[in-house]
Amino acid sequence: MQGDGKPTHQITNWPITVPSELQVGDAATLVFDLRNTNDPDGVYFSNRETAAGRRWWPLQYPVCVGGVCNLYLPTVLRNHFVCPEGKELIQNSGFEQGAVGWVEDAPAPIIRDLTIIAPHTGDWAAWLGGYNNANDVLYQDLRVPLGTTTLEVSFYVAITTTETAPYDYDNFYAVLEDEQGQLIHQVLHLSNADEALVWWYLDHHLFDLSAWAGQPVRLRFIATGDDQYKTDFVLDDVSVIVNCNSTKATPSITLTAVSTATLVNPTLQKDIP
């Protein structure tokens, strides 16, 4: 079929050669796929779309061999799917399974069952920073479902520091990036100046990810520090929820102090090699 922009095509008297091993009355399956005849590699849509991380199912129909057989093809909708409203995309959001689902890029483990601040919930949390010249990265790769309009990002973070001046010497960032590492949204920036020994809560902020629907993105947490004093950033209960409702408004970022952060190991040192 030639791509002429028509919404439908009708094919009549399509000759099909029946393999010699099939006899009259046998059952067979017709498989319908698509391929661009100008494609020098001859790649079918089912292979190309799967390789790109998108689903494309070729149509398969049982038919009879010989006699009078009728075959009816339904309308093929390329984006026939149901957007998973309210689906949680984060695996191991409270870190209770250790580092499962997460990637740590740091000189010492980030996800621990022994941190300087008691976890917000459970027994495990992610401890970023906590040493001079800190450079810790924690991230998880997600695939944005087709039909997504926004992602609702939320998490808890607590901060303690030995810095004495109210300037941004040690910093904590949460960012959303595409698969090439390009910034999509800066979710949040905090620093040693935000220490209050409370659990700060980022309340389900919505980020427009409609342009990345069907594609992978990365939620990355970063902690950096200078060469004097240190700041501890403890992260817990990370959540990324799918929103398919295009009418839902994107609120401004709201940080709320929800509970006291308990400093349980004030002399605990991070075991940096």
- pLDDT < 70 regions, the chain: 1-14, 18, 20-27, 30, 32, 36-42, 45-46, 48-81, 250
Strands of the chain (E only): list them: 27-32, 59-64, 103-105, 111-112, 125-129, 135-143, 150-161, 171-178, 183-191, 198-208, 216-224, 231-243, 255-260
The set of residues, in sequence order, having a beta carbon less than 8 Å from that of 270 and lying 6+ positions away, is 108, 127, 130, 131
Q: Is 212 left (phi over 0), alpha (psi -120 to 50) or beta?
A: alpha
User: How many residues would you count in the chain?
Assistant: 273
Any idea what DSSP says for residue 267?
A: T
Distance, CA of 166 to CA of 54 (rounded, Å): 48
- Give the CA distances from residue 155 to residues 105, 125, 126, in Å, rounded to whole numbers and listed in that order: 20, 11, 11
Give the Cα separation of 239 and 123 in Å (integer): 17
Q: Per-domain residue ranges for the chain?
A: 22-80, 103-260
Rounded CA separation 98/247 (Å): 37
What CATH number does the domain located at 103-260 have? 2.60.120.260
Determine phi and psi for 70, rounding to 5 degrees. -115, 135
Strand, helix or coil for residue 46: helix
Residue 224 tokens read as 């950096």
User: How confident is the model at residue 202, as a pLDDT?
Assistant: 93
pLDDT of residue 43: 73
Output the pTM of the full model. 0.71
* 139-174: pLDDT as tens digits: 999 999 999 999 999 999 999 999 999 999 999 999
pLDDT given at position 10: 66
HEC profile for 190-242? EEHHHCCCEEEEEEEEEEECHHHCCCEEEEEEEEECCCCCCEEEEEEEEEEEE
Q: How far apart are CA 40 and CA 10, in angstroms?
A: 26
